[in-house]
Amino acid sequence: MGGPAGGPGVEPDSTAQTITRSDHVRARSTDAELHDYRAAFAVSRSAMALLGPDGTVLAANPALARLLGTEHERIAGAPIGALLGTDGDPHARGAFQDVLTGRRRRLRCTRRLARPDGSALRAEITLSRTGTRPLLLTVDDVGERDTLRRELRHLRMHDPVTRLPNRALFFERLSDACARAPQHGTGRIGLCYLDLDGFKAVNDTLGHRVGDELLAAVAGRLQRCAEPGGHLVARLGGDEFALLLRDSTGTGQATTLATAVLDALQAPFDIAGQRLAVSASIGVVEREAADTTPTGLMQAADTTLYWAKADGKGRWTLFDPERNAHLMTRQALSRTLRQAVERGEFVLDYQPLVALDTGELRGVEALVRWEHPHFGRLSPNRFIGLAEEDGSIVQLGRWVLAESCRQARAWQAAHPDSPLVVSVNVAVRQVWDSDLVADVAAILRETGLPPRLLQLELTESAVMGSAGRPLQALHALHEMGVRIAIDDFGTGYSNLAYMSRLPVSALKLDGSFVQGFRSAEHPNPADQTIVEALVDLAHRLGLTVTAECVESAEQAERLRRIGCDTGQGWHYSRPVGPAAISALLG
Ligand code: C2E
Ligand code: MG
Ligand code: MG
């Protein structure tokens, strides 16, 4: 070992001029410390050396010699470049020089170092200076650390059950593919997003062990499908897998892969002495990589997988932008529905109910429309279902009821001799989730409309099996003098005997019955017979019958002959604004 007194050459501060008592104590402890440092330097497992200002080794510890695979004696006095074998590398030379000359305080780099015996190691080298003292060089073997890191990363990025890349790695690869694809190969990207049908049942009945084994077996089959094309298979969690086509040649390639996967899952699995059959639903998305982001692609795949399930499972479904647009408007509508009621974006049209024998106007059905600021006028089929789902039907229904009654009262006041019944549709949730009876009573009171001029239309399914609340509501409304009609009769249970026990005044025969009356040359005799029997029975039970969707004079005539009381449909009038009804009355 070189350096003064064979030590590492760290000297006590020599700038002290006068030695005081406390300085003396400090000098003594510094001596002791120095001794300790030297000992630590010698026994340290970290490879270290002290370098002079020109970069030659002043002192090195045995650990450095061991690490570099050379003799301790050959190290002392060697220039750093020769020691680390970096002489041929101008970049490394320059960097060392910067620290040696004090332009830089510290340098850290990772290099591959060759040993005299021909073996090599990956080392992290640091060179640092502290004040005017010699420079400290440390060399660490990071090969093992790197291997460990790689192993850790592998563990972190793979699913232990199937040994497939996990969600994290999948998203890394997907982002990569989206970023690189525009400049590479076909520039397209494909994704099969797969979910096992009925996997939960396997897990729940046979246990997680069997479930895991099944997942691993499924993973094996998926991989065999993906291997020939070099596609990535990943487990995204639970029973969800993804197959990524990084250089997709088109939709056909992705759907062919999806078909192959479904085929591969056909044969049952033999697991833990059980024969298990599984199927899968797959959402397939294939597109130009430049047009998409990983999130965009995953969202599309998620939606498409949902369609595959909804379409009947055990199949693949290809992403359809139009179907998606429809879904998006559905979501957009559902988001704005509630405020739309408050903002008063709804209007009512009225469709005449006409006496089939005399042709007189007997009533009108109120039909709601949404004047949507972006989508224009929307028919109720677009939003009533949504309003029922999110509960805003209660508020909307209350508005429809109040507005219809106000309008009907105005007509009554203007034409006291030709009273018009206003027929208002009521959704099931209005009966269940609000106090319909109290609402109706309040509205009648406020508008002054006589109860007999209000009819409420409920569907058969809404009143079927009614007990408790709905039944009480029907009775209370009936006692109030309000008429109850069963809407779209014939599409549900068509249980007339049951209806007759409810306080119902009218049946509205569904349009599909009347359709059989369309052509005189080819009447549907079954329809005619059924309708005739229905009307007859209804009359005997004391109910009046309205036919919906009367589109021609011929249909009207036949319905009249059969004995229907009123008709409603385009033959008489489309649903129209209140002014048009006022004109009819005048
Ligand atoms: P609905 O009560 O059976 O109303 C009759 C539907 O048939 C109306 O459709 C009407 O425009 C249509 N229609 C009338 N005549 C003809 C015809 O001759 N031929 C054909 N093909 N169709 C005809 P709209 O206005 O689209 O209403 C659809 C449904 O929305 C209604 O069916 C009703 O169930 C519901 N609805 C409408 N307004 C409301 C409301 O205020 N509240 C609730 N809960 N539902 C409503
Ligand atoms: Mg109706
Ligand atoms: Mg109807």
436-447 vs 393-414: helix crossing angle, rounded to 10: 30
Mean pLDDT of 391-409: 96
Residues 259 and 402 occupy one common structural domain: no
Query: Which atom in ligand 1 lies closest to the alpha carbon of residue 457?
Result: 2
CB 315 within 8 A of CB 281: yes
**Residue 518 pLDDT:** 60
Does position 24 have pLDDT exceeding 60, yes or no?
Answer: no
Q: Parallel, antiparallel, or unpaired: how do β-strands 454-459 and 421-425 relate?
A: parallel
Mean pLDDT of 128-148: 85
Domain boundary among 145, 173, 197: 145
Q: How far apart are CA 53 and CA 476, in angstroms?
A: 103
Does position 447 have pLDDT exceeding 90, yes or no?
Answer: yes
Per the structure, the count of domains in the chain is 3
Check if 379 has its Cβ closer than 6 Å to any atom of ligand 1: yes
Identify the residue whose C-alpha is closest to ligand 1 atom 15: 569
Mean pLDDT of 435-445: 96
- Both tokens of residue 510? 């569904």
Q: Which of 522, 538, 520 is CA-nearest to residue 530? A: 538
pLDDT tens digits along 307-337: 999 888 999 999 998 888 887 788 888 888 8
Does position 69 have pLDDT exceeding 60, yes or no?
Answer: yes
Position 515 confidence tier, pLDDT thresholds 50, 70, 90: confident
Position 525 confidence tier, pLDDT thresholds 50, 70, 90: low
Position 26 confidence tier, pLDDT thresholds 50, 70, 90: low
Q: Which residues surround ligand 3, an ion (CB under 5 A)?
A: 487-488, 548
pLDDT-above-90 percentage for the chain: 56
Residues 420 and 533 occupy one common structural domain: yes
- Measure 24 CA to ligand 1 centroid, in angstroms: 105
Ligand nearest to the CA of 556: 1
Check if 551 has its Cβ closer than 6 Å to any atom of ligand 1: yes
Position 6 confidence tier, pLDDT thresholds 50, 70, 90: very low
List the CATH number of the domain containing 531: 3.20.20.450
Q: Which of 26, 22, 65, 23 is CA-nearest to residue 42? A: 65
Does position 17 have pLDDT exceeding 60, yes or no?
Answer: no
- Measure 417 CA to ligand 2 centroid, in angstroms: 26
Q: How far apart are CA 499 and CA 482, in angstroms?
A: 17
- Both tokens of residue 45? 């497992």
**Residue 7 pLDDT:** 36
pTM to 2 decimal places: 0.58
Within a domain: 325:
no
- Report the chain's mean pLDDT, rounded to a whole number: 88
CB 30 within 8 A of CB 36: no
Position 570 confidence tier, pLDDT thresholds 50, 70, 90: very high
Rg from Cα positions in the chain: 43
Within a domain: 152:
no
Residues 559 and 433 occupy one common structural domain: yes
Residues in the chain: 586
Position 404 confidence tier, pLDDT thresholds 50, 70, 90: very high
Ligand 1 pocket test, candidate residues 393, 425, 456, 570, most atoms within 8 A of CB: 425
Residues 452 and 494 occupy one common structural domain: yes
Residues 141 and 162 occupy one common structural domain: no
Check if 292 has its Cβ closer than 6 Å to any atom of ligand 1: no
Domain boundary among 92, 113, 145: 145
Mean pLDDT of 369-397: 90
Q: Parallel, antiparallel, or unpaired: how do β-strands 544-547 and 566-567 relate?
A: parallel
Q: How far apart are CA 354 and CA 547, in angstroms?
A: 10
Within a domain: 338:
no
502 Cβ partners below 8 Å, 6+ apart? 463, 466, 471, 474, 484
List the CATH number of the domain containing 113: 3.30.450.20
Q: How far apart are CA 30 and CA 190, in angstroms?
A: 69
Position 397 confidence tier, pLDDT thresholds 50, 70, 90: very high
Neighbours of 200 (CB within 10 A): 12
Identify the residue whose C-alpha is closest to ligand 1 atom 45: 425
| DSSP characters over 268-299 | PEEETTEEE--EEEEEEEEEEGGG--HHHHHH
Domain boundary among 145, 169, 196: 145
Mean pLDDT of 553-561: 92
Identify the residue whose C-alpha is closest to ligand 1 atom 23: 549
Between 11-15, 132-136, 285-289, 383-387, the lowest mean confidence (pLDDT) is in 11-15
Q: How far apart are CA 384 and CA 337, in angstroms?
A: 10
Determine the structural domain holding residue 180 and report its residue range. Answer: 158-319
List the CATH number of the domain containing 308: 3.30.70.270
The letter for the amino acid at 21 is R
Position 76 confidence tier, pLDDT thresholds 50, 70, 90: confident
Check if 425 has its Cβ closer than 6 Å to any atom of ligand 1: yes
Beta bridge partners of 487: 459
**Residue 481 pLDDT:** 97
Query: Which atom in ligand 1 lies closest to the alpha carbon of residue 459?
Result: 34
Within a domain: 445:
yes
**Of 87 and 188, which is predicted with more confidence?**
188
Dihedral pair phi/psi, residue 19, rounded to 5°: -105, 115
Residues 164 and 274 occupy one common structural domain: yes
Give the Å distances, CA to CA, from 348 to 223, 369, 394. Answer: 58, 6, 16
Does position 1 have pLDDT exceeding 60, yes or no?
Answer: no
**Residue 10 pLDDT:** 37
CB 396 within 8 A of CB 404: no
Q: Which of 428, 333, 343, 338 is CA-nearest to residue 381? A: 333
**Residue 466 pLDDT:** 59
The letter for the amino acid at 377 is R
**Residue 252 pLDDT:** 96
Between 18-32, 289-303, 507-521, 556-570, the lowest mean confidence (pLDDT) is in 18-32
Within a domain: 339:
no
Mean pLDDT of 562-584: 96
Check if 569 has its Cβ closer than 6 Å to any atom of ligand 1: yes
Neighbours of 514 (CB within 10 A): 26
Between 63-67, 112-116, 329-333, the lowest mean confidence (pLDDT) is in 329-333
**Of 555 and 421, which is predicted with more confidence?**
421
Written in H, E and C, the secondary structure of 15-72 is CCCCCCHHHHHHHHHHHHHHHHHHHHHHHCCCEEEEECCCCEEEEECHHHHHHHCCCH
Between 213-227, 374-388, 411-425, the lowest mean confidence (pLDDT) is in 374-388
pLDDT tens digits along 179-210: 887 777 899 999 999 999 989 888 888 999 99
Residues 573 and 453 occupy one common structural domain: yes
**Residue 496 pLDDT:** 76
Position 413 confidence tier, pLDDT thresholds 50, 70, 90: very high
